[in-house]
Amino acid sequence: MHDVEILREVGKLHAENLDQSFLSTLGASFLFLMYRAIDECESAVLLVETRELGVVGFVSGAESMSLIYRQMLRHWPQLIRSLLPSLLNPVRVWRILEILLHSRHEANSGGLPSFELLSIAVDPEYRGQGVSERLYEGLINHCKAFRKSAFKIIVGEALLPAHRFYGRMGAGVVGEVCVHGDQRSVIYVQLVN
């Protein structure tokens, strides 16, 4: 388990570097709670790379987002406080509901692996130094240790650097999905040998 300050830094790194994701719009407080839930959940993993000044990168993966959302509810007063500004925005409320509905149907995913790479981010100052590759390999090793034969990755269609990275790491495209209306995402599967 990581300490609270590390989890806050992970949430901040997500907000600043995965800013095209809807979750970033929910704010650093929500992201801190999400990463704390991932860290606490037995069927999830949060791998972090640090330097003297703090977190420089992280990767997270989980068997089920539903379990993570349930874990977040254990800290419901903080969750409500973190979501309050978003709950006053009808568009955000709708997108939150879309995510929750999508996570309820994730178990019926057409033969895809149940374990999923949820997020990976590296501080821009440390890109090109092998951090993302080490984190990704760490997730592969985690899956090997827990006898997972593969994991899936869902990537927004427009995120070209992410597509290049996953292809370079050996993940293969297996399909597409729309989570938010007509916004397409590509589904990759990474085999774990």
Per-residue pLDDT of the chain (193 residues; tens, 9 = 90+): 899 999 999 999 999 999 878 888 888 999 999 999 999 999 999 999 999 989 999 999 999 888 898 999 999 899 889 888 877 888 777 777 766 665 555 544 578 999 999 999 999 999 999 999 999 999 999 999 999 999 999 998 889 999 999 999 999 999 988 765 677 889 999 999 8
Q: What is the pLDDT of residue 106?
A: 52
| Strand pairing category for 150-156 and 116-122 | parallel
Instruction: Judge residue 156's burial from the number of C-beta atoms within 10 Å of its C-beta, 0-12 exposed, 13-18 middle, 19 or more buried.
Output: middle
User: C-alpha angle with apex 70: 78 to 84, nearest 5 degrees?
Assistant: 30
- SS3 of the chain: helix, strand, coil, percent, to 5: 50, 25, 25
Residue keyed to tokens 């254990």: 74
Query: pTM for the full model?
Result: 0.88
Among 18, 31, 3, 46, residue whose Cα is nearest residue 123: 18
Taking CB atoms within 8 Å and a gap of at least 24, the contacts of 103-108 are 103/64, 103/65, 103/66, 103/69, 104/66, 106/64, 106/65, 106/66, 107/64
